[in-house]
Each structure stands twice: as C-alpha cells, then as structure tokens.
Structure 1
Amino acid sequence: MEMHHLPFKLRALTLAIASAIIAGQPVSKARAENNLSADTEWSCEVASDGSGWQCSVVPLKQGAMKRAPRPVVAPVATRGRKSTRSTAPEKTIAVSQPEDVRTQLDWVHESKLSDARRQQLKQEEPWCVGTYVEPTRPGKYFKGDPNSAPIIADADESTYQNSIATLLGAVKIRQGNRQLESNEAYLDNEKNFGEFKGNIVFREPGTLIVGDTAQSQLDTGRTEIDNAQYVMHESHARGSAAVILRNEDATMELDDATYTTCRPGDQGWQLSGDSVTLDPSTGFGTARNAVVRVQNLPVFYSPYLYFPIDDRRQSGFLYPTVMGYDDESGVEFDLPYYWNIAPNYDATFTPRVMTKRGFLLENEFRYLTEKDEGEIGVAGLIGGDQLEDENEHYKKDRWFVNARHRRQFTDRWTAELDYADASDKDYLDDFSSSLNYSSSGPLNQRVMTRYDGGNDYNNWQAKLDVHKLKNMDRTADDPYNKLPQIELSGNWQATDRVQVNYLADYTYFDRADDWNYIKEKPHSDFPNNSGIYESVYDEGYGIQRAVGSRAYFESGVSYPINKTWGFLTPAVKVRSVNYSLSNLDQEQVVADLNSSYWHRNFNQGDFTKSPSTTVPAFSVDSGLYLDRDANLFGSAYTHTLEPRIKYLYAPYVKGQEFNPLFDTGNMGFSYSSLWSDNRFSGYDRLADANQLSLGFTTRFIQDNGFERMRFGIGQIFYFDDRQVYIGNDLGSGDPDYIPDFDENENAQRQKDELTASTSPIASEFIYNFTRTMSLRQDFVWNANQNRIDNYALTYRYRPSERKTFNMGFRFADRVKRYKKNEDNTNYVDPVTGENVLVKNDLKATDISFAWPIPYTQNWSAMGRWQYDMTNKRNLEELFGVEYASCCYQVRLFWRSYVKSTDNIDHPKDRSGIYLQFVLRGLGSLTGSSGKEYLQGISGYTIREK
C-alpha cells in the first residue's frame, strides 16, 4: 500500500495517552489541489491493481461528523447552506492490528526471545519469564524532533471536504517516531479537533497505548481516550483506565485507573484509584482512594498516595512499614516522609514506633554540589526508652548522630569528614539505624585531608588526619585516638630498574583516662537480681598507660629484575621509630615489663619516656616460572611449578619493650606470611629477622585461562631466635586485673614459637570444579609441637543468581580460658578453690544457602546455621522463604542468635521474625525488615527494584 502526505497540514497533531503524549505544533493550512464546489468532495480508494490511489470528485455526502462529548465543538455547517447536515451513518472497517495487542501489550515470552536477549533477561531479571519488546515499524528509529517531521497518513479510504478529512479502514497516522492507528479518523482542520474510533493503537518509543475511542483538541493537546490500556516498556509499568484525559500542561488524569509492573495476565500486585494523576514533568503520580492489592487481596489503603512513574524523586510520605518482631523491641512500625528539597538536596524523616521501647525519630539530610557531597543524620528516642526488663537505659534519652562530608578542592586535593556518636554503647545493638555511618564499632570521629602529587615517575601523597574512635563494645578497651596524624609517602622510579620508596609519619596518640576494661559486675543502680550489668574501667597499668607522640620513618631501595621465566628482587630498607611519652609511672612500667617479658630483666635505669629504635633490613626475593603441557582426566592443561625463595635479615635492636603499643599487634600466620617483611602490624615493633623462606606454588591452567587448581606450601627456616615480641600479659600487675586465659600456657607457647628453628608449615589449596563451584583449604601445621595451629575449609557453589550453597569449617588452636560466672567473674571450683580452666579452641561450622524450591517457579528457601562446637551452642540460626517474581518479592524469615559480647558461658538467646514486602515499581512496604542479616549468606543477592 502506498503512503502519501495528507492533502492538508494540521495546526497541531497531539495525541496524549498514558505518560507519553505528542506535543502540539502550529503549522499553516494547505489548500486543496483543485477548487471544489460547495456540494462536491474528493473520494479516493485503493486501485484494484494495487498501483496506488484512484481519486475522483463526487457529490457531497449529507451529514456532519459526529463530535465527542468533550471538548464541545459546534456542528459544522454545510458550505453555502443554512441548515446543518444530519449525522452520517457510521462505517466500520477492521484495522490491521495483531489480535493480541490489547491483551499482551508487546509482552514476549522468554521462549520467543533471541538467545542474546534471553541471556540478558536472565542476568538482569532472573525471575521474569519474558519482557516487553516493541515490534519493528516505520519511524521506530527516527532521530530528531518528531514535531518537525512530516505527517504521513495511510488508510483504505479517505475523503476531504470543508476542512474535514475522513479516513476509513486500517488508518495509520505517523509523524517521526510516533504512530497512531485506528479503524476510523475524522480530522477538522478549522476546529483543530480530531476524533478516532475503533482499535486505537498509539506507539512511541517505549510506550504503547490501546483504546476504543480518542478525541483531541489538537491545538492545545487536551485529549481524551476511552477504555484505554497502556504500557511503558522500560519501567515494565502498565495499567488501564476508563477515561484518560490529558490536560494542556501535559498532566494526565485517569478515572477508575490501575497501575502495576506485573506482566499482562499476572495479578501479583496492582495499585488502583478512583482518580490517578500522572505528571511526566516530576516523574511521580498521585492516587486518591488508592488500594494496593496482592493477588487480588487488598493489603494497603490510603486516601492519598504518591508513587513513582520513573526514577526521579518527589516529596511525600513513603510506604508505612512493619519491620517484624523481636524479643527486645516488639513490633516496629515506620512511616517515612521524603522531602525532595532540590535536585541536589533531600531529606528523609522516619518516625519509628516500637511497642516495647517507645517512639524513635530518625532524620537524614543529603546534599550534592559541584565540589561537595555528604549527609547529616540525627536519631533519638522521644520520651526515653520504655523497655524496663534487663535494661539499664530504662527511661533514659537515647540518641545517635552521624555526619559525612567530602570536599574536592582540586583533582588532587580532597578533604573528608566522617563523624558518628551515640548516647551509649548499646544503641546500635538495640536499634540499628538506617542512617549512613561507616563503622559500627568503634564509631569513627574523623577529619582528614589528602593531597596526591607527582607524575608518572614520582608519585607522592601528603595526609593530615584527626581521628577519634568511640568504643561501642562493652567488654573491650577503648582504642587510641590520633590527634593528629601527619603522613608523607611516595615512590620514585629513579631509573628503569631502581625504585625508591619512602614514608614519614608523625602521630600524637591519646585516649580517655578510664579506658582499660576490667570486668562486668551487677549494676549498682539496679537490684542484684535484675540481670543488668555495668562495665568497670580504670586507667590501666604499666606501659599501656602511655600517651604521647610517635615519629616513624621508612625508606627503601629495590632493584627488581623480571623475566618471563622468573624474578629476582634485592632490596634494602631502613626503619626508625621515635617517641615522646607521658602518663607513665616508672616503677609500674619496670614491674610490668619484668612480669611480661621472660628473656631479660629490667631495672629502673632502663626506663625512658623517649625510646627510639632504628633497624636496617636487607632482603632478596626470587622465584622461577616453570611450566609444561599436561593431561589430567582427559583434559589439556598448562601445569606450572613456581618455586620461591626469600632471604630476610634485620638485626635485633634492644629496648623496644619500652615502646608502647599504640596500633601494633601480632599478625596471624598463613601462607602469605612467608613472604612478609614484618611479623607485626603497625610501627611500634620493628621485628628482627635472620631467616630463609622456602615455598612453591603449582597450578593447573586451561587454555582459556581458567585456573582449575592451585596449591602452595612453604616454611620459614630461622637462623636466630626472635628477640622482639609483645608480652601476652602486659598490665597483669594491675590489682583489678582478672585473667581470661591460662597465663602459664600462653607464655610457654610464646617461648616455643620464638626459639623454634622453623616456622609452622603453611599451605593453601584451591580447586575450582567449575567457574561456579570451588573448594578452598588453608592449613597451618606446627611440626615443632605436632599440632594443627589453624585450619579452614570452605566449599562454595553458586550456579546462578538464585542459587548459592556454602559450607565452612574453621579451627584455631588456642590456650585454655577461665570459665565464667553469670556476672562475668571467674568460676571457682568449690572443692579445690581454684579457677576452672576450659577449652578455648575455635571450632565452628557455618552452613548457608539460598535455593529455589523444587517444582516451583518463584519460591526460594534460605538459611544459615553457625555452630560453636567447642562450647556446644548455636551462634546463629536463620531460616526463611522468598517469593520473587518480575513484579514483587516477599521474604519471611526467623532468626535466633547470641551477641558476640555476651558472656560465653551464659549467653542470652534472642530471636525475631521478619517480613519484607517489595513491590517492584512502588518499593518496599516493610522497610529493611532485617535484610542485613541475609548478607551473611555468601553469594545471596538482595535484588530489589
């Protein structure tokens, strides 16, 4: 069928259906090619041979075009006559549209998609069984302004008389990338009014609308569509309305309307309203007398409701949430309010009602400018904590604040603020928070600025950091604060081979006077049988009381030689640390060191408040890359053998026992420790070494680069005993000190470790069955003591987004601990009168999974079980189910757990039930509902849209 331009130009062609409406454009009128008399008109039909149009002048038919009830348009008078023409008989001709366009709305089942599109669907929407696909049509890929494009019309029959064009049969009107189809069309150029009847199909990229009839005031865009259905492909949103009215300002008013993101025929959830307004300029809709139904069951009602029609933000109440139930808070109900202040500013106010604790209000303000971004949050209980049983904060005000800010002065210079504070150490355990804070224990209170300088051959960084840490653990020491820390670091590629690295760090360390955790005891403000305890702190003892400044310097030169068959890297390094200390008692320090370090005696003359240590070091690291072709179980591999040898020497410099422990501790031993230059973290201990590390790694690698298997094993051979170490029982001279472990066994283990001629044997083994299934084993065997120091075995299987299964076992050999009473004091045997020692080995299992339920399309089960085999107790039990579809998700799970800070011999079991309802396109009806607990299931992806 040939297509021609209309024999006239409309002042505007605007068709508004759902959220995408053609904008009006004024154009000048065109004249008919021939002058017609008042009682004649053109009549055109398709030629019988299909060669084009056959047009002729025929007598004028009597009757005027029937008008729509809104907008009101006066009848058109017959040219040259006083009387009005009578209504012409209606003629209906079937339109050539797919029979299922009204019911399927461009929905295509996954079985009919291309392979590439099907794979994309499974990655992006693993629970969807199909998607919306707009069919190919003329103008679909038109680029440019459609309002300036010519209007092209096509129909089986057309007539034009007295400014009215009549199109009948398979009517198609196209302008740019927009297209309207109907059975009939009547266009009045004088009144700028159009009426369309029968099988209305409107298309625009990403939008499809179908209806029965449409009337449009073409010069203003005011358009009405009856019995309409619509779909927006990208957002997967569809709906229906008895009447859709598009106003001049492009807002849409829908009577008796629905909205959902479920596929056609799926009544998973649906929003309905007596009247719905869609505003494309803001990206939000409003509904009056809104009802949300799930599987046709009403679950939510609101007399007035905001909801999104795209990704933009809008002020208004979000969905009220029921967070679930737990033993300490009861049932929780939230009603968040979102305030879209400006495109780069917003705020959220979240009232939280907890049936056992009271009313809590959370406020968060966010901002973003060209150089700044951040958020400020405030939360607090109004009227105090109402939980009375076993709660030391009963009737007390409890609050939490946080602020995060980042300033980008230039491409190289930045500054950051990270601050959080709470009324008490239990706040986050009791309430958690939706505010954006970086750490839950301890809380950061930090201001930092950094400058990155240099070029391709000389990179350096300068940093100024003021960092306080608020302890949120009731049974732990307060950490040191850095007030401030100034650091300069960098590397210089001096030649093609010579590399120079340097670091200079100055830090002043301080902390509160009462920082040292002693014990928990029954709270003095409550009866002894209340079950409420308080932590006891003091100022510490011996060297651990130190505060003051530390200056650390490090500089090194290396000469790496890298070849395809191996590498050789000789390096030299010098490290130096210097202190200026205060808050020390000389007698305490000497007594503390003599009780903690067995290898020498200290006297009063050794004491100093300004210790300093400088240690040079030399190392040579080398390795070979050997490979061969191999065949394993019928598969071809590249088999590698990668031996590695590293020699490290650093002399012993005495007096480091007088160095405080500001940020330093022993690092655990593993396969990677074989190649480390220091066995301590931090700068307060500069390790001595005269050792040779031997090890090798072997791999099986497929031709496509996939590593099937890797195994590494090694050991360190010591030529001298290690002289530098950290005393295990520093501070034990404090009269309030209560040991938690067997000091004698601990000291003996330390002696054995420092005097042994070899390290434990460390190995790692990784086998990748497939790209989705792996087994990992880490093993440390102490051959000198004939025991396993550490062992970990982890199996992971994740074949798809919806399937994950994990099993893990971990073991660590540790010295025995003292059994505890309910008040956290050491248990005394009534017969012997001595503290009772029990096993303290870490022996725990961890099993977690998330897996579709067999013979169901959308149901999955999830769970996690952590078990402490040493103390024969459950650490965490979690089990739940999830229903996930293309349009909504439901999660319901139960959790039982003990806190890590609980008395290990008398833990308190806690439990809760959590429900989460997520309607895709509307959001969550139940907030977070404990979904953070599901993140412990490795491989489980929380997919919410």
Structure 2
Amino acid sequence: MGTLLVNLVETLKIAQLSGQFQPHKNTKHFLMNLRRAITLSFWLFPCVTMAQQPICLAPVENVFEPMTDMGDNIMVKAQKAEIQQDTQASFSGNVEINSSSARIKAQQAKIDKDAGQLTASGKIGYLDQQIRVDSEDILLDFKSGELNMQETQYRMLNFNGRGQAGNININGDNGISLNDLSFTTCPKGAEDWRIEASSLTIEPGDMWGTVRHTRFYLGDVPVMYLPYFKFPVTDQRQTGLLFPEVSTSDRVGVSYAQPFYWNLAPNYDATITPRLMTDRGVQLQTEFRYLTEAHRGQVDLEYLDADSRYEFDDARYFYRLQHLGELDENWQVSADYNGLSDDNYIVDLGSDYYSRADTHLYQNVGLNYFSNQLNFSAEIRDFEIIGNHPNSYRAIPELRLQYRQPLLSHFKFSFNSELAYFDNGDINSPTATRFHVAPTLSLPLANAWGELVAETSLLQTFYWQDVPEASLLSETVSRTIGQGRLYGAINLERQTRFFGEEMTQTLEPKFQYLYTTYENQDDIGLYDTNRLLNDYIGLFRGQEFTGLDRISDSNHLTLGVATRFVDQSNREQLRLSVGQIFYFSDSELTENERNSDRSALAAEVDWRLSSKWFLHSEVQLSSSNQKVDRSNLSLDYQIGPNRLVQINHRYVRDISGEQIDQFGLTASWPIADRWQWVGRWYEDVKGNRSIETFTGIQYESCCWAIQLVAQRNLSNRFDALGERSENEFESGIALQFVLKGLGGSRNARSILNQGLFGYRQPYFLNN
C-alpha cells in the first residue's frame, strides 16, 4: 500500500485530480482552532505549578514533532485512497492529517467536493506539543469554516491535567462552544476531585468566555455550584477576582484574603484585597503598579481600622513605595519609602516585604548619573526604626561623585568625593556636615596567571559639627590621611589525584601591604561608622570601619591562600581558604586598640563530600587566646528535593556584649507512600532553651495535598517601651488544603521556608 500526500492549502488536489475545488479561507486554520478550543476548556482553571510526583505521570505516546518545512501546508497521508471522478476522495488505513503545528490520526477520512466537507472517523486522535485529544468523529465544513467534534477526551502534555467534552464546535459566525466538559489533575480511575460544566462559549471578537452550571466535586460528592461566570480568553490582563488565600495562625485566627484585580489601563493596574481575620477584624490590602516608557513602580497600602486584639484603639497601617525611572540616557531616579503604624504590625499581621526580625524600614530617595568616566549620586537615606533601638543618623542628603581617567599606558587616576549632612533627630546629639575627597593614582597589571596593583591615595575630610555645649567634639575638623597599598595574587594549578579521582588543583596565594598614616579623630562624631568583622574576603578590604568617621592607621601585611580541587567535569569538589593580617605596629586610633600583633585567623571550607553530602564552614580564630571568635558550620545531606537533613551551628563570642551560640537541625523526609514529614529545631545553647520548634506533615496525591503544621517559637513582640520580648513564646497550628491545578503552588519542601529560621540551601560550589 502506498502513501498518498495531499496539499490542502494550495490546491487541495485529490490524488491526480485537477485543482478545481478551492477550500474556505479558514480551512488551513482548523487545526489551530481545534487546539485553541480544547485549550480554552482548560483555561477555566489556572495552570498547575506544583512539582508532580513521578508516579503520577503516565508515559506520553506519539510525541508530536513539528514539521517546520511545511509552512502553512496541510498534508494527508493514507494507506489507501479511492477517487470518484473529481468530486469525492476516500482515505482509509492509518490516515494522518498533518500540519506544521499538529497531527490528526483516524481510520477513515472522506473529502466531498460538492458538499464542501471533510469527515473523519474511527478512533480519532489529535496531537500537538501541548495537548492530546481523542474523539469519535470530526466534521469540517470548508465553506463556512465550521469544525465539529463529538465525544472528546483530552490530556495536557506539560502537566497532569485532563478532561472531556461531549461536543466541540467552532464556527466563524458563532465562535467556539464546548458542551458537557470536565477537568481534573487526578489519574484515570482515581478522580479525587473534578470540575464539570454544562457549557463554555466564546463569541467572535470577545475577550471573555462564558461558563454555565459549573459543579465542583470531591469524589462523587458535589460541594460547590456556580450557575454562571466569565473568564478571560486572551493574554490581555482582565479585571476580575483572583484565587483567594486561606490560612490559619495563632496570631490572626482564620484568615481569608480575596484579591480583586483591576485592569485600569494598559500601563497601570491595581489589586485590592479585603482580608478577613477571625481574631482581629477586616484588613484592606491594596497594590498599585504603573509602567511608562521611562518609569516603573509600585505603591502598597495596608489598613486595619479596628484590631480587636491590639492593646490600643489606633488604626494600624503599612505603606510602601518603590520607584525607578530614567530621566534620560544617563540620569536615573529611584525611591524606596516604607512606613508603618506601630512596632508590632509586622509581628502581628505579617508582611510580604519585611520579616518580624527586621528593625529598620528603608526611606530612601535618590538621583543618579552614570557615564563611562563619571558617576554622580544624590540620595536621602532615612529609615523608620522598629522597637527601642538607638536613634541612628540619617544622611539628608548624601552626594557622591566618582571620576576615573586612564593615564599614560598603564596608570589609572580616580577621584572619589562625598558631601553629606547627618542628623538623628535628637537635640542632645550633634549634627554634622562632612565633605570628603580621595584622589587615587594606581598601577594595575594583570594577566591570566596573576595580578599586581600598586596605588596611593590622599584622604582629605572636612567636618562642620553642631555640637551640644558639654560635648568634647570640635565644631570644625580638617583631617588629612595618606594611604599606600600594594596587592598581588598568583594563580597556579597542577594535575593530581584526590580521593582516587583525577583532579585539577589550584593554588592561589595573595598578599596585600597597606600603610595608612595616623591622625587623631577623637573630636569627630560617629555618624555612619561601625566596626567591620573580618572573614577571609574582609581581610583584604583595607579598612576596619564602615563609613568615613574613623580611618585607622595601619602598617600591616595580609597573607592569604586558597586552593581548589576541580574534577574532570569542571566541578569544584573542595575549596579551602585561609588568611591573616600581620601588624608591624600598634594602631594609635582609640577605637582600634589591639592586644596582638596579628588578626584572627580566618578560614573557609566548602566541600562536596559526595554527591549527597555538602559541608560549609567559616571560622575566625583569635590570635591572642587561640579561642574561636566566630564560627558557622552547615552540613547537608541531600538525595532528592524532599529528602534532606541539615545540621548547622552558629557561634559569636561577643556581639554588642552578647554571645550567640545556636544549634539547629532541619529535615525533610518521606515517611510512607505519599506522606512527607518536615521538621526544624533550634536550640539556644547559651540559654539552654529551644527558640524554635517546627514540624509539619503532608499527604500528597497526584491531584491534591493537605498540610498540617505546628510550631512554637519566640514571639518577637515589642512591649510598650519598645523592648523586644526574649522570653515570650507563641504556638500555632496551621492546616492547608491544596488542589493541584487550582492555584496550588506549595509542596512539602516549601514548609521549610516558614518560621524564624527558614531553610537555607547549602553553599554549592560551581555546579
């Protein structure tokens, strides 16, 4: 039996007949319309984003491979063809109707020139890259462009969604209609839930589809009915209700949030969300977004008029503005402005933008200029303090200018300057205007195996301070400091064996000599300056403090070395870094007194112990007493996305007079078929108490999941004086039911991101 190819677009020739029959202009689009009709029946329900278990995914047969060389042509293949003069052609035996985007298979197909119709029957299958449809018969009218399919069953190929429709009809005059349709993500024979509708219609030119008599079933029990609703059928944003968010917690009780999306214009929109909390009342959350050719931003406002659990009668609110705009090719303006009504707002009501451990909200506005040689910025850096924290200085404003210029063949000249005014709002604290300039001449030399940089800088700073009468600070200060720096690094490598495997080992030693002159700075206030902590990278910063109010004199040499082991697949298996600063003289700066001639030894280790085990560690070992000043250890065991155990320990000997010594354990593990357990426990070793206990269990089938989570942790609430509670705990139990395919996007792994100590991925080497 031969194969017959028929071009339906150009002439629709049947075997060797002359091309007298011309199809309707819509004929070449019938495959596209069929695909659109079936896909729109699925648009009733949001696309599933949750990762599916492999056991739920049945193998897909006859995967469609696009025939890109066909263009708009449609071809018919068959084992047998019967031609009756020039009016009819019948095809039988493995009939295929192919286009560049889809394929239809049938046992029989018939083209009737006089009637202007194509019919196909016998186990019809439609397939493209997204969907597969099985049907009993197809009728295509070439003259009207009408397509009709009976008793269809469809399956989405990109995820586990399927359903059926009793009838599909596509008509150029009446649009698209589907009758007796259904949808579920459950496997065949185990429909734990499904949605059924009597009809779905889309009229020509309409951006909305209409669905009638929709029923939602759990098992065979109907639990919800909607007689009528509309949904968008285009990619254009449409006004309407979004899926609600339901949760429970000890802080708010049962929370139900119903977002309403408002498509105000093509370049701006709003989302208005009333949130009902059984323990607190009704909160209004709004989000407004805008986008122009040069500007974009977002405004958020949350308001709760009467909180039944709040100790005061005041209304509670939170607001946030973010803006980024281009004034022209080089100028840019930005804003990040936040505020709230009270210290406990985030703790009590939650936030999508801040955590309850935060103590400051940004209130920044900036203007920036960028070019190849010159950068300029003008910024107001303010913030709102949460709780009873020391009043910090604001920079209102802060102006920065940076200029770079190559000199001769190898030298580079740079000029950094800054002008800032500092005020913390306290009449008993000084205010100051600071002007700083720092011209630098450098000689950078670099190639593939190393680099050498020599530079010298002059740091000139002027202060005009408005100080209280009893203050020891000076009203005017001129500070001149010179600095010289020499930095070098070499990259070496060799072939070696590491644990029996061929590896490339690198050796990367580097050094830095830094000399900075001394000048007394006791008559200068501290406005944006804090002591820096030195990890391995920090050893080569060349400064001991943030900001400019304290510049320490220095005469020291920093030595460091790193080594990496890289396997044949170019993956790092081990990275080890260690470094230390050696001081040739003591610092005369009051705030930088040292009791040793060397810094703490800083080391870092990242080790891929195996395909399942990962180790990350940082440690700073004091050179004066050989005790650990700071350390962080994380050991991870992973054999899958939901099979992991992480052990971590964090230690700081002294930070603001406090010691941190915390031990944590995080785990996620399957405990039975479709049952998953997650847990987290953090212990304050110094205080001998648990600071967070968190456990959850989830049952997950192919099409639905239920999560039960219980936790106990520090409340972090502030008292009337703004002091954070260190002994008050809160407990809560949360239950969430997720239907896959109906907006559910959380899995068992996502539970680990909740609570005070969210799960942190291990520090992977370059995968």
TM-score, scaled to structure 1 = 0.69
Comparing 759-768 with 612-621, greater Cα deviation is found at: 759-768
1:466 aligns with 2:380: yes
Partner of 2:514: 648
Determine helix, strand or coil for the equivalent of 2:561.
strand
* Change over 3 Å in CA distance of 1:284–1:492 after alignment to 2: farther
The structure 2 residue matched to 1:842, chosen from 656, 660, 663, is: 660
The structure 1 residue matched to 2:459, chosen from 575, 579, 595, is: 575
Contact 1:362–1:379, Cα closer than 8 Å, also in 2: yes
Percent identity between the two aligned chains: 26
1:774 aligns with 2:596: no
Q: Deviations over 1:68-102 (max 9, x none)?
A: xxxxxxxxxxxxxxxxxxxxxxxxxxxxxxxxxxx
Partner of 2:623: 783
Contact 2:301–2:320, Cα closer than 8 Å, also in 1: yes
1:141 aligns with 2:67: yes
CA separation in 2, counterparts of 1:20 and 1:171? 20
**Larger C-alpha radius of gyration, 1 or 2?**
1
Determine helix, strand or coil for the equivalent of 1:433.
coil
CA separation in 2, counterparts of 1:311 and 1:437? 34
The structure 1 residue matched to 2:468, chosen from 585, 588, 608, is: 585
Partner of 2:326: 408
Contact 2:716–2:726, Cα closer than 8 Å, also in 1: no
User: What is the CA distance between 1:712 and its match in structure 2?
Assistant: 3.3
User: What is the CA distance between 1:549 and its match in structure 2?
Assistant: 1.9
CA separation in 2, counterparts of 1:279 and 1:794? 59
| Amino acid in the other structure paired with 1:338 | Y
Q: Deviations over 1:579-617 (max 9, x none)?
A: 2222x2121x23xxxxxxxxxxxxxxxx42222322111
* Change over 3 Å in CA distance of 1:126–1:20 after alignment to 2: farther
1:862 aligns with 2:678: yes
Partner of 1:199: 123
* Change over 3 Å in CA distance of 1:449–1:800 after alignment to 2: farther
User: What is the CA distance between 1:242 and its match in structure 2?
Assistant: 1.7
1:385 aligns with 2:201: no
CA separation in 1, counterparts of 2:306 and 2:695? 34
Determine helix, strand or coil for the equivalent of 1:680.
coil
* Change over 3 Å in CA distance of 1:164–1:924 after alignment to 2: same
CA separation in 2, counterparts of 1:437 and 1:816? 22
User: What is the CA distance between 1:703 and its match in structure 2?
Assistant: 4.7
Partner of 1:112: none
Determine helix, strand or coil for the equivalent of 2:346.
helix
CA separation in 2, counterparts of 1:716 and 1:178? 68
| Amino acid in the other structure paired with 2:67 | Y
Pairing 1:212-227 to 2, within 5 Å after superposition: 212-227=136-151
* Change over 3 Å in CA distance of 1:462–1:280 after alignment to 2: farther
CA separation in 2, counterparts of 1:480 and 1:464? 17
Partner of 2:579: 714
1:758 aligns with 2:676: no
Determine helix, strand or coil for the equivalent of 2:196.
strand
More strand by share: 2
Partner of 1:2: 3
Determine helix, strand or coil for the equivalent of 2:475.
coil
User: What is the CA distance between 1:678 and its match in structure 2?
Assistant: 0.7
User: What is the CA distance between 1:844 and its match in structure 2?
Assistant: 0.4
* Change over 3 Å in CA distance of 1:559–1:896 after alignment to 2: same
Q: Deviations over 1:255-280 (max 9, x none)?
A: 22112345656636533223234689
Q: Deviations over 1:268-309 (max 9, x none)?
A: 653322323468988876543434446666665544456678
User: What is the CA distance between 1:237 and its match in structure 2?
Assistant: 4.0
Pairing 1:477-492 to 2, within 5 Å after superposition: 477-492=390-405
CA separation in 2, counterparts of 1:816 and 1:346? 46
User: What is the CA distance between 1:893 and its match in structure 2?
Assistant: 2.1
Contact 1:134–1:206, Cα closer than 8 Å, also in 2: no
CA separation in 2, counterparts of 1:501 and 1:772? 48
User: What is the CA distance between 1:330 and its match in structure 2?
Assistant: 0.8
Partner of 1:530: none
The structure 1 residue matched to 2:733, chosen from 886, 908, 913, is: 913
* Change over 3 Å in CA distance of 1:788–1:339 after alignment to 2: same
CA separation in 1, counterparts of 2:644 and 2:68? 45
Determine helix, strand or coil for the equivalent of 1:673.
helix
Partner of 1:317: 241
Pairing 1:280-359 to 2, within 5 Å after superposition: 287-293=211-217, 301-304=225-228, 313-324=237-248, 326-359=249-282
Contact 1:14–1:23, Cα closer than 8 Å, also in 2: no
CA separation in 2, counterparts of 1:704 and 1:662? 50
CA separation in 2, counterparts of 1:723 and 1:480? 26
Determine helix, strand or coil for the equivalent of 1:559.
strand
1:370 aligns with 2:297: no
Determine helix, strand or coil for the equivalent of 2:538.
helix
Computed over aligned residues only, the root mean square deviation of the Cα atoms, in angstroms, reads 4.0
CA separation in 2, counterparts of 1:282 and 1:297? 34
* Change over 3 Å in CA distance of 1:624–1:232 after alignment to 2: closer
1:933 aligns with 2:751: no
| Amino acid in the other structure paired with 2:307 | D
* Change over 3 Å in CA distance of 1:417–1:491 after alignment to 2: same
User: What is the CA distance between 1:771 and its match in structure 2?
Assistant: 5.8
Contact 2:306–2:314, Cα closer than 8 Å, also in 1: yes
Determine helix, strand or coil for the equivalent of 1:384.
coil
Partner of 1:723: 588
Partner of 2:44: none
Q: What is the aligned length?
A: 733
CA separation in 1, counterparts of 2:423 and 2:204? 57
Contact 1:363–1:377, Cα closer than 8 Å, also in 2: yes
Comparing 886-895 with 551-560, greater Cα deviation is found at: 886-895
* Change over 3 Å in CA distance of 1:205–1:811 after alignment to 2: closer
Partner of 1:546: 430
CA separation in 2, counterparts of 1:679 and 1:450? 28
CA separation in 2, counterparts of 1:249 and 1:443? 58
Determine helix, strand or coil for the equivalent of 1:658.
coil
User: What is the CA distance between 1:233 and its match in structure 2?
Assistant: 3.3
Determine helix, strand or coil for the equivalent of 1:430.
helix
Pairing 1:497-646 to 2, within 5 Å after superposition: 497-513=410-426, 541=428, 545-562=429-446, 566-582=450-466, 584-587=467-470, 589-590=471-472, 607-625=473-491, 627-646=493-512
CA separation in 2, counterparts of 1:552 and 1:436? 34
* Change over 3 Å in CA distance of 1:410–1:233 after alignment to 2: farther
* Change over 3 Å in CA distance of 1:628–1:143 after alignment to 2: closer
Partner of 2:368: 450
Contact 1:18–1:209, Cα closer than 8 Å, also in 2: no
Q: 5+ unaligned residues in a row in structure 1: which ranges?
A: 25-122, 514-538, 591-606, 727-749, 818-839
User: What is the CA distance between 1:647 and its match in structure 2?
Assistant: 2.2
Partner of 1:673: 538
CA separation in 1, counterparts of 2:285 and 2:747? 14
CA separation in 1, counterparts of 2:618 and 2:110? 79
| Amino acid in the other structure paired with 1:557 | L
Determine helix, strand or coil for the equivalent of 1:586.
coil
Determine helix, strand or coil for the equivalent of 1:924.
coil
TM-score, scaled to structure 2 = 0.84
User: What is the CA distance between 1:562 and its match in structure 2?
Assistant: 3.8
Contact 1:308–1:921, Cα closer than 8 Å, also in 2: no
CA separation in 2, counterparts of 1:350 and 1:19? 38
Contact 2:421–2:432, Cα closer than 8 Å, also in 1: yes
Partner of 1:39: none
CA separation in 1, counterparts of 2:499 and 2:91? 73
Pairing 1:121-140 to 2, within 5 Å after superposition: 127=54, 130=57, 135=62, 140=66
Partner of 2:34: 21
Q: 5+ unaligned residues in a row in structure 2: which ranges?
A: 7-12, 38-49
Determine helix, strand or coil for the equivalent of 2:558.
strand
Contact 1:17–1:209, Cα closer than 8 Å, also in 2: no
